[in-house]
Homo-oligomer: A and B are copies of this chain.
Amino acid sequence: MSFTIWFTGLSGSGKTTLSRLLFRELKCRSLKAELLDGDIIRTNFSQELGFTKKDRDINVRRIGFVSYLLAKNDVISVVAAIAPYRETREQNRKLIDSYVEVHCNCPLETAERRDVKGLYARARAGEIPNFTGISDPYEEPVAPEIVVNTDKESVSESLGKILCYLEEKGFVPMAHECQMIPFTEDDEFQWKNDLARLGFARAVGPGRSK
């Protein structure tokens, strides 16, 4: 059964980490899945877009449209993208049949302290305009299917919570019922390499996303 699972939350809230681990777990359970990371989508689909509300909305809808196409063909989409505006997220929910929203909930201070990509420092210094959480709003989900509190839970705890939900809803088979296959290939890097080799996309370095 196909579904789309969308990790939304501030930069540094754990979206990429959790989405990659979930993606790997789904592949191990022999499911068809695609990892749609905001950075990669921006590079390949939306290189002309900036970070105004309008541009962010276009980008989030585009990811929604790709998920819709994949879902129609029984492929699971695992999306990691800030998607800061509630209304746009709700539009995707309406478009996509089985839509699971995961709110990576984490106080701004924690995300800012992590500052994995050094973006918060630059945003505070005024070098990056329209930065979610600093100079642009993040509208928290009102009724997400899953909330993970990434400042309090371990990564395994959050991942476990997500998998339990998906199993309970019948979206994924229980681990012990699957023929587990090792999955070592990092699909995302595969993409990046494929695309970079062909001059399709510049290498995705530390940068802004979503």
This chain's copy number in the assembly: 2
A34 with B199: in contact, given A45-B65, A65-B45, A194-B95 (CB under 8 Å)?
A: no
Q: Mark A60-86, 1 if CB is under 8 A from B, else 0.
A: 011001101110111100000000000
Q: Mark A174-210, 1 if CB is under 8 A from B, else 0.
A: 0000000000000000000011001110000000000
- With an 8 Å Cβ cutoff, the count of chain A residues facing the other chain is 27
Shortest distance from the beta carbon of A95 to any chain B beta carbon, whole Å: 6
Could you tell me the distance between the alpha carbons of A198 and B95 in the complex, rounded to whole angstroms?
A: 7
Residue from B70, B72, B91 within 8 A of A200 (CB atoms): B91
Q: Across the interface, do A69 and B72 meet the contact criterion of CB distance under 8 Å?
A: no
**Chain B: CB-nearest residue to A36:** B69
Question: Inside 8 A of A200's CB, which chain B residues have their CB?
Answer: 61, 65, 91, 95
A interface residues (Cβ-Cβ under 8 A, vs B): 32, 34, 44-45, 47-49, 58, 61-62, 65-66, 68-70, 72-75, 91, 94-95, 194-195, 198-200
12 contacts between A and B (CB under 8 A): A44-B61, A44-B65, A45-B65, A47-B58, A73-B73, A73-B75, A91-B198, A91-B199, A91-B200, A95-B194, A95-B195, A95-B200
